[in-house]
A = this chain, B = another copy of it.
Amino acid sequence: MPVNLAPLEADKLLPVQGVTLGIAEAGIKKAGRKDLLVMRLGDHARVAGVFTLNRFCAAPVTLCRQHLAGGKAIRALVVNTGNANAGTGEEGMKRARQTCTEVARLLQCGDDQVLPFSTGVILEPLPVDKIIAGLPAAVANLKEANWFDAAHAIMTTDIQPKALSKQMMLGGKTVTITGIAKGSGMIHPNMATMLGYVATDAAISQPLLDGLVKHAADQSFNCITVDGDTSTNDSFILIASGEAGAAEITDAASAEYATLRDAITEVSQVLAQAIVRDGEGATKFMTIAVEGGASTAECRQVAYAIAHSPLVKTAFFASDPNLGRILAAIGYAGITDLDVDKIRLYLGDVLVAENGGRAASYQEQDGQRIMKAPEITVRVNLGRGDAAATVWTCDFSYDYVKINAEYRS
């Protein structure tokens, strides 16, 4: 069961002016399941995205990159579940293009104004005929109030849908941000991928939006890990429709930019953390906060070494304050001039290790009390500087093995 992830309430999701969503059942993998989503964007909308760094990236990811680089205004997004269109070679590119062409025809825009996304089985041909057959129903369904259904339509093995809205005042106008995301492992066996879409009706210049999507991703989706694997299809898209009536933000030093940036980052963080909370087999949500580093990069390196260690993750599953495993992970994280005598390690607020060994004040029962909670913070001070980084992850349970070993059987 997801860790502290409240059921999604439809009436808490707010429409974003200038963004309509349409859902359909295209029967891509199974019948009777909403598996196709079209998002239509208004005339003033700007779009920016970040994508997987996996060299085996999927055809739709390649096409998204091309269309965004082309500089034409993006007018629609199309997302299918049930098939990732990854590892499908030139034929996969052709089918992703066919999908865009059909969306463009229905919405009367250019092919290169459409961004395609796929998630599902890898290495299987995309059933593009089913998608094309399902598109008219999705387009007929387009409306601003469809975020709740959209959050469901992009799910694969997610146990719960993930979505969030936030409102604030910006230049005297009410501005809305609504986001949805899916994913429960960094990569699923065949139901691949993390997808995130955050839309706002604020107006912002393209260069600032391009920077903002990277900032938000670096503080959210790039700080989570379930199993260390990186999908072929991971995508995070930020949409600014500009229809709230607020003045366009063009200055990165302005208060308005800071407000919007922080709100979008917060929505992205909650969505990213929801993916970890719904991680495959997760029973605990862990925050790994590394501080006192010489650089952010080395803090991330240490945080990921802890977050990726199967030994640490199984100890958390067992609620076992196994300090040796955490110290060992810090030790092999790759900081060659690390002085282990300067490191302080905390579980929650309890100092557990310092001076290269267990803290004199540490009592095993204090560690055990903290490890029994469903949310646990591991804090490491490297004693080398002022940099810090945080990573969120979940534990490693029997169910992780079960889910991933039995997926195709």
User: Which residues on A are within 8 Å of B, measured CB to CB?
Assistant: 53-57, 84, 86-89, 92, 121-123, 185, 187, 189-190, 192, 227-232, 308-311, 314-315, 317-318, 320, 322-325, 327-332, 335-336, 338, 340-341, 353, 355-358, 396-398, 400-402, 404-409
Contact = CB atoms under 8 A, between A and B. Distances in A.
A311 B229 contact: yes
A132 to B, nearest CB: 22
6 contacts: A87-B324, A121-B324, A189-B315, A232-B328, A315-B405, A318-B406
**What secondary structure prevails in chain A residues at the interface with B?**
loop
Contact of A55 (B338, B355, B400): B338
A230 B54 contact: no
A141 to B, nearest CB: 31
A163 to B, nearest CB: 26
Given A190-B324, A358-B87, A330 B404 contact: no
Nearest to A337: B55
A231 B327 CA distance: 10
A317 B230 contact: no
A278 to B, nearest CB: 17
A328 B231 contact: yes
Contact of A232 (B331, B355, B398): B331
B396 A401 contact: yes
B189 A325 contact: yes
A310 B358 contact: no
Nearest to A403: B314
A324 B232 CA distance: 9
Contacts of A92: 357
Contacts of A56: 327-328, 330-331, 340, 356
A170 to B, nearest CB: 38
Contacts of A332: 53-55, 229-230
A123 B356 CA distance: 9
A192 B332 CA distance: 14
A330 B325 CA distance: 28
B404 A401 contact: no
Contacts of A405: 314-315, 317-318, 320, 397
A323 B87 contact: yes
Nearest to A405: B318
Nearest to A312: B229
A310 B400 contact: yes
A53 B333 CA distance: 10
Given A232-B331, A320-B407, 9 more contacts: A55-B331, A87-B323, A87-B357, A122-B327, A187-B325, A187-B328, A232-B328, A314-B405, A401-B401
B327 A87 contact: yes
Nearest to A88: B357
A57 B400 contact: no
A324 B398 contact: no
Nearest to A396: B401
